[in-house]
Structure 1
Amino acid sequence: MSACTKTRSATAFLLVGSIGTVATAQINNDRLRNEVGTVKIEARVQRFEPIQSVVAGAFPIHTSNYDVVAVWDPAGSRAHESWDMELIYPLPGEMQISFTSNETVGIRRQSGGLAGQSDGPMESSRIGANFKDLWLSNPVILLAYAEQRAVSNGDRSDQRVELHQLTLEDTEWLVEIDGASGLPASASTTENDPHRGRIENRIDFSDWRDVDGIPFPFRLEQFTGDRLVRREIRTAVTVNPENTESLLAFVASELPPGDPAMRRWGWDMSHIILKRGGGGNIGNFPQIDNVAIEEIAPGIYLVPSTHNNLIIEGPDGLALVDASWYPERSHTLLARMAERWPEKPIRYLFLTHHHIDHTGGMRPVIETGASVVTSEKNAGYFREVFESTMAQIVNLVEVGQFLSLDGIGREIHAYDVYTEHADGMIAAYVPDEKLLFNADLFSPNRPLQFSLWFDDLMNAIDWHGIDVEKHVGGHGSGIAAHPVDVSGHTMPVIRRLEIGAN
């Protein structure tokens, strides 16, 4: 075994050749597959989320820092990862989580974070996402195992590169080989994305070092659609480390069988699954089995989940407030709505703000022809997404301070809410029931509240003079009466009433 401690020449493992005018490093694939059983990677990671930023389209929000130790057996499809996390957004705290899996099943161990102690089987979607990320993060190993389909020349930032088109696990990959160093400059693939449909998931590599004659990058920057999502500085890489079998071992027969379809779902959307993981979220499923429509007031229906929707019924159609994760959930909800109201189209989709957990299911709803109602501050972002990724023309209705709509034969108001949580926040109000729907600022009947954001909502109600009797939230459950008693909320940003609260 050998761990890299300093930069050395990589020529021991590279055969320099050329195609056209670009000098390239041809990886000795047979040697790598035969001699490299496992790889251990230790690193410091920063995670970012572009679609949770305060301003739509602005710099991604920093969600976490963590130390990671990964042990990977690429030929045997086994892996172990442990993350020691400092959570920054949305809830400051600490979390330790580890994953041990083979191709189909695995075990997760967690302590800290919002869920507290939580051990159990890994979701198949997270298994797929983790393995996809390991391949993308280690391009020399990817080149050794993938089928090479084509090689061509190109340019990247005024530097000649050689483009290797690869196939692995029914997935197309592109590795750019730097013409000067003969080493991979980047690796990318195209993945499903809730907002844009398809998006490039790319990692740029630098600080290459030799480990037992095998080159590994020690600095990685990951981007989705050219937006930063991860920075990784590797502190050590070891080839064929000793005493790792205990980390990779678990009794697969004692776990429920894996779900190949869900593994593929996570694989095809690994950037989303791992960005959520970087924020301390461990739930990785499309939530299509819990879609229920519950009437909470005459003609007003809550669709409860981790992220709630609201349906407002009028004589001439329906309005839907928010479109939470994921497109698959929206497809299921649309089918239920069509069964219940076959003659009533969805006239409006209200998007309270741009965050992807409340808008990740928007595309199927928009494809029905619904007009999108959102803040004028977010209109530019959504317009660019729609025009660049959707064939249809989307009717975008912009909300300033206030807007009244009656296209469903029932009046609905939209009010702007100034909050540090998200610029361009709106709340939806049904005057005939004096019912207000907000996202994230107040979660009815939930023991976890963000007191500063709650104050922002109450201030907006006072400023606009909204006659509220009932609150419904994008989180939480049921209805809360107004005024709400928040006398115990004393923390300046959040109050965790109970560690491990849902």
Structure 2
Amino acid sequence: MRSKLLWMGTPVLLLSQAEGVRPISGRQGAHAFTAVGTAWNVQLDIATGFPVRISAREDDPMYGTVEASMEYSAWTNVGGVFMPTRPEYRVDGQLIRRERRESLGIELSAGGEELSAGGEARTVSPPLDIARFAKGWTMAHWFLSRVSLGGPQDQDVAEPVELLEVAQGVYQVLGGPTHSLVIESTEQLTVVDAPWYPERSEAVLASLRARWPDKPVGRLIVTHHHHDHSGGVVTFAAAGIPITVHALNRDYFFDALSRQGVGAVRIESVGEQANLMLGDRAAELYEVPSAHADGMLVVYLPDEAFLFNSDLYSPGRATQHPLWSAELLQAVRFYALPVERFAGAHGRGVESMEHLEQIASAQ
């Protein structure tokens, strides 16, 4: 991921590797080329010959194909090499990162070599996981977004899949930093949240088929739109599984899934409160007004006095967010829910109302 950003941020170096350069019809100064195994487009300034913009297509879990681009301005001569001092990184036209380069220099190095005991140079290269590198390269913008959020996610979190029973017939789906929930009924399963990307959802669904071959997934409930909880939604949608979201998030998911070419998207939206029958099990959805995300839903199972939430409160995790936990506690009291056990999309296992009150009071 970072290596691709470095290539894009140093356009002279990237263009020096260009092969198969050809003009783009109808766009003066625009050319297509291939470099470092990737197809790129470049827009040149007709007057100066400097690149104004370089772009490439990338994969996105929610939107399918997106355009990642770098725009350049305020060029300066650095030791005979012209470099931009005001690059801007965008995804589908949306500004993601802006740099102000106040000091630039060129450092000559040994090019990845070191001296051996005999005085001869030998190349030192860390082992490269080709599959992981390819995923990071084709989804570089996505991994960069995790860095900007202060939560880098460079590891593949598609597997493993571990089921931890947290209430009767209710399972926390572990195996990565963000979890789903599975609610078992007599004839079907319900899944809450589809974290990260399609590969994770594929692994989860495969695990559920192996565990319950006669119980299909009848519904996916999404607590909120953040991609660490919803990036794998397309896998469920493509399988024809109905998706339940808050009304504030319906258009977002509908547009994203339509853009990926999912045919008949089945999205059910709910408001402040909804009562559902998940097979023969009753479930209640409640909106929690939160600074973390609009349209935040929690899932409450009245027969088990059990509540599942995402991000607001994370039983079994050292890191907590007292402000968000206080928002959850306020909602639980407002709706008069007699919760005995809480579980979260982060952490592990369950905690009590007393523990939530303790965390919420630590503001």
1:135–1:424 CA distance, 2 compared to 1 (3 A): same
> 2:239 pairs with 368, 371, 386, which one?
368
Deviation of the 1:213 alpha carbon: 3.6
Aligned to 1:399: 270
Aligned to 2:88: 221
Deviation of the 1:471 alpha carbon: 0.4
Aligned to 1:298: 168
> 1:470 pairs with 335, 341, 345, which one?
341
Give the counterpart letter for 1:269 in structure 2: M
TM-score normalised over the length of structure 2? 0.91
Give the counterpart letter for 1:333 in structure 2: V
> 1:209 pairs with 73, 76, 81, which one?
76
Decide whether the 8 Å contact of 1:326 with 1:360 is kept in 2: yes
Please give the per-residue CA displacement for 1:236-262, whole angstroms capped at 9, x wherever unaligned. Answer: 2223x35x4599869999987321111
Give the stretch that moved more between structures: 184-193 or 129-138. 129-138
Aligned to 1:275: 145
> 1:184 pairs with 40, 44, 51, which one?
51
> Does residue 1:345 correspond to 2:212, yes or no?
no
* Pairs within 5 Å for 1:230-245: 230-239=97-106, 241=107, 244-245=109-110
> 2:8 pairs with 126, 136, 147, which one?
136
> 2:192 pairs with 321, 331, 335, which one?
321
Aligned to 2:288: 417
CA distance in 1, matches of 2:258, 2:153: 31
CA distance in 2, matches of 1:249, 1:221: 35
Give the counterpart letter for 1:140 in structure 2: V
1:485–1:354 CA distance, 2 compared to 1 (3 A): closer
1:139–1:272 CA distance, 2 compared to 1 (3 A): same
Aligned to 2:157: 287
Please give the per-residue CA displacement for 1:431-486, whole angstroms capped at 9, x wherever unaligned. Answer: 22111110111000222211111010011111112221110101111011223254
Q: What stretches of structure 2 of length at least 5 have no aligned partner?
A: 117-121
CA distance in 1, matches of 2:125, 2:80: 39
Give the stretch that moved more between structures: 262-271 or 135-144. 135-144
1:415–1:220 CA distance, 2 compared to 1 (3 A): same
Deviation of the 1:345 alpha carbon: 2.0
Deviation of the 1:301 alpha carbon: 0.9
1:247–1:442 CA distance, 2 compared to 1 (3 A): farther
> 2:178 pairs with 307, 311, 330, which one?
307
Aligned to 1:79: none
* Pairs within 5 Å for 1:149-188: 149-154=21-26, 161-188=28-55
Aligned to 2:129: 259
TM-score normalised over the length of structure 1? 0.67
Give the counterpart letter for 1:259 in structure 2: D
Deviation of the 1:147 alpha carbon: 1.1
* Pairs within 5 Å for 1:95-110: none
Please give the per-residue CA displacement for 1:125-159, whole angstroms capped at 9, x wherever unaligned. Answer: xxxx122112222222211102134212545xxxx
CA distance in 2, matches of 1:250, 1:459: 63
Aligned with 1:132: secondary structure? helix
Between the two proteins, the alignment pairs up a number of residues equal to 357
1:208–1:350 CA distance, 2 compared to 1 (3 A): same
* Pairs within 5 Å for 1:57-96: none
1:282–1:391 CA distance, 2 compared to 1 (3 A): closer
Aligned to 1:146: 18
Decide whether the 8 Å contact of 1:200 with 1:224 is kept in 2: yes
State, as a whole percentage, how many aligned pairs show the same letter: 34
Decide whether the 8 Å contact of 2:132 with 2:156 is kept in 1: no
1:488–1:296 CA distance, 2 compared to 1 (3 A): closer
Aligned with 1:165: secondary structure? strand
Give the stretch that moved more between structures: 379-388 or 424-433. 379-388
1:437–1:265 CA distance, 2 compared to 1 (3 A): same
Give the counterpart letter for 1:210 in structure 2: N
Aligned to 2:315: 444
1:488–1:454 CA distance, 2 compared to 1 (3 A): closer
Deviation of the 1:490 alpha carbon: 5.8
CA distance in 2, matches of 1:193, 1:312: 29
1:404–1:166 CA distance, 2 compared to 1 (3 A): same
| Larger RCO (CA under 8 A, 6+ residues apart) | 1
1:398–1:132 CA distance, 2 compared to 1 (3 A): same
Aligned with 1:293: secondary structure? strand
Decide whether the 8 Å contact of 1:348 with 1:371 is kept in 2: yes
CA distance in 1, matches of 2:259, 2:111: 49
CA distance in 2, matches of 1:372, 1:440: 20
Aligned with 1:303: secondary structure? strand
Give the stretch that moved more between structures: 201-210 or 250-259. 250-259
> 1:454 pairs with 302, 305, 325, which one?
325
Decide whether the 8 Å contact of 2:22 with 2:32 is kept in 1: yes
